Amino acid sequence: MTVQSPNRPHPHAAVIGRSIHELDTPALLLDLDACEHNLHHMADFFSDRKARLRPHFKNHKCAALARRQYEAGAIIGMTCAKVGEAEVLVAHGFDDILIANQVVGETKMQRLVQLAHQAKISIAVDDQSQVNAISTAAVTARVTIGLLVEVDIGMGRCGVAPGSAALELARRVVDAPGTEFRGIQAFEGHLIFINDTKKRTAGAKVAMAQAIETRQLLEQYGIAVDVISGGSTANYELMADLEQVEEVQAGTYATMDWRYHEVRPEFQIALTVLATVISKRPGEAVLDIGAKGAGAEFGLPKIIGAPDVDIPHFLAEEHCLVRNAPNWRVGDTVQLLSSHACTTCNLHRQFFVHQDGKVIDVWPIEASGLLS
C-alpha cells in the first residue's frame, strides 16, 4: 500500500478542509461516516459466522476503501471482475484474490500468471477450453492457479448447468496440471432487486440449493469442494446462514445507491455525485452531469433535498434536465443519487471523502476504466 510522503504536498491539498460545495463538478463524493457504518455493520454480522466476506472490488475499485473493508474485519480475501482490477489489488498488497469471471485470451493468460507469482489467485471457469488455456500457462510459468466451477443457478449469464455438467468440468479441473480445484461459484443476480424480502430470500434459497446439491454430487464422486463462493449484498443474511456456503461476495454495501437502498435500507447511501446548475428557465434547470458521470442502469437519478423534481430522461452525455426544479440559481450545487454505484465509480478517478460537509481526503479510484 503506497504511503504519502510527509514531505510531499497532498496532490489535492487545495480542497482538503473546504466545503464539498466548493468542489469543481461533477465530483464523486463519499460520506465517510456512512461508509464506515456500512463496513462495520457487514463485518459485525459475519464476525461470529462460519461464512466469511470476500467483498467485490468492482463496486468501488478503490484500494483505500478495500483496505478499510479489511480493517473492519471478517474478510477472507477480495473478489474482482477483471484481471486489471486484480493487478491493482496485488500492487496494493492484497494477496488472496478471486476473479469471479471467465478469463480468456493469451494476453490475459500472461498477466494472470504474473499475478500468480505474487498472490493466491483463483478464477471462475465454465468451459474446458478455459481450463486448458489456464493449465498450459500455469505449467509454463510454474505457478498454481485456483479454479472454481461456475454454476448457473438462474441468472442465465455465465456458468455450466448444475449437476452432471458441473461434475464433468470439475473432473477436468482436477486432472489439469498447474491448477487446483477450489470449489463452486454461484450468483443469484437475477433475484437481487426483488424488494419483498420474503420473496427475494425464498427465491435465493431455491437458487442456491442447486449449487449445494451440485457440491454434494461432486463430493459423492470423491471431489473435495473447499468452498461455495457467491451471493450478494441483497441476500447476505441468507448466504451466511446456509451451512454449505463459505464465502459471500457482497459488494455494493460499501457505497450503496438508491436502488440497492430500497432492498437493504440498513445500509446508508454513502455515494453521491455533486453537480452544478449550469442553465435554467422557469420550472426547469440543467445540471452539468449526464450518462458519462453517473450510472443509471437501474433507474433515473434522484436529487437530495428535492423529492418532487422530475428527471424526464438521462440520455445526454453531459447534461441532466430537471423539471419542477426548486428555485435554484445558475451556479448552485446539488447532490445526485445514482441508481448504480458500481458503474458510477467506474466513471470517476477519485472519491472526495467528506465528513460534516467538509472534504477530509481524496482517494484515487485506481481501477476505474480498467475493462480488461
Mean pLDDT in residue range 267-289: 96
Domain presence at residue 370 = no
Mean pLDDT in residue range 337-356: 98
Q: Is the pLDDT of residue 154 over 50?
A: yes
- Confidence category of residue 203, pLDDT binned at 50, 70, 90: very high
Joined together, the cell numbers standing for residue 18 give 473546504
Q: Are residues 112 and 246 in the same domain?
A: yes
Q: What's the CATH number where 298 sits?
A: 2.40.37.20
Q: Are 256 and 31 spatial neighbours (Cβ–Cβ below 8 Å)?
A: no
Question: Which residue in the block uniquely carries the three cell numbers 467538509?
Answer: 358
Q: Are residues 275 and 235 in the same domain?
A: no
Supply the pLDDT for residue 4: 42
- Confidence category of residue 1, pLDDT binned at 50, 70, 90: very low
Q: Are residues 82 and 224 in the same domain?
A: yes
Closest alpha carbon to 301 in 282, 284, 287:
287
Average of per-residue pLDDT values in the chain: 95
Domain presence at residue 1 = no
Tell me which of 203, 225, 253 is where a domain ends. Answer: 253
Domain presence at residue 106 = yes
Q: Are residues 272 and 208 in the same domain?
A: no
Residues in the chain, how many? Answer: 372
Cα–Cα dist 257/339, whole Å: 5
Q: Are residues 98 and 245 in the same domain?
A: yes
Supply the pLDDT for residue 27: 98
Percent of the chain clearing pLDDT 70 (strictly above): 97
Percent of the chain clearing pLDDT 90 (strictly above): 94
Q: Are residues 25 and 130 in the same domain?
A: no
Domain presence at residue 371 = no
Q: Are residues 72 and 155 in the same domain?
A: yes
Supply the pLDDT for residue 312: 87
Tell me which of 232, 253, 274 is where a domain ends. Answer: 253
Supply the pLDDT for residue 50: 94
Domain presence at residue 2 = no
Q: Is the pLDDT of residue 302 over 80?
A: yes
Q: Are residues 292 and 145 in the same domain?
A: no
Domain presence at residue 8 = no
Q: Are 286 and 278 spatial neighbours (Cβ–Cβ below 8 Å)?
A: yes
Q: Are residues 208 and 63 in the same domain?
A: yes
Range(s) of the domain holding residue 312? 20-30+266-364
**Span 90-99, pLDDT tens digits:** 999 999 999 9
Q: Which amino acid is at 319?
A: H
Supply the pLDDT for residue 184: 98
Closest alpha carbon to 171 in 108, 214, 227:
214
Cα–Cα dist 219/211, whole Å: 12
Q: Are residues 323 and 178 in the same domain?
A: no
Supply the pLDDT for residue 9: 57
Tell me which of 222, 253, 284 is where a domain ends. Answer: 253
Closest alpha carbon to 305 in 339, 334, 285, 333:
334
Supply the pLDDT for residue 317: 94
**Span 26-80, pLDDT tens digits:** 999 999 999 999 999 999 999 999 999 999 999 999 999 999 999 999 899 999 9
Closest alpha carbon to 361 in 40, 108, 15:
15
Give me the number of domains the chain comprises: 2
Q: Are residues 38 and 85 in the same domain?
A: yes
Q: Are 32 and 40 spatial neighbours (Cβ–Cβ below 8 Å)?
A: no
Question: Which residue in the block uniquely carries the three cell numbers 510459468?
Answer: 141
**Span 215-234, pLDDT tens digits:** 999 999 999 999 999 999 99
Supply the pLDDT for residue 216: 98
Domain presence at residue 188 = yes
Q: Are residues 38 and 177 in the same domain?
A: yes
Q: What's the CATH number where 183 sits?
A: 3.20.20.10
Domain presence at residue 73 = yes
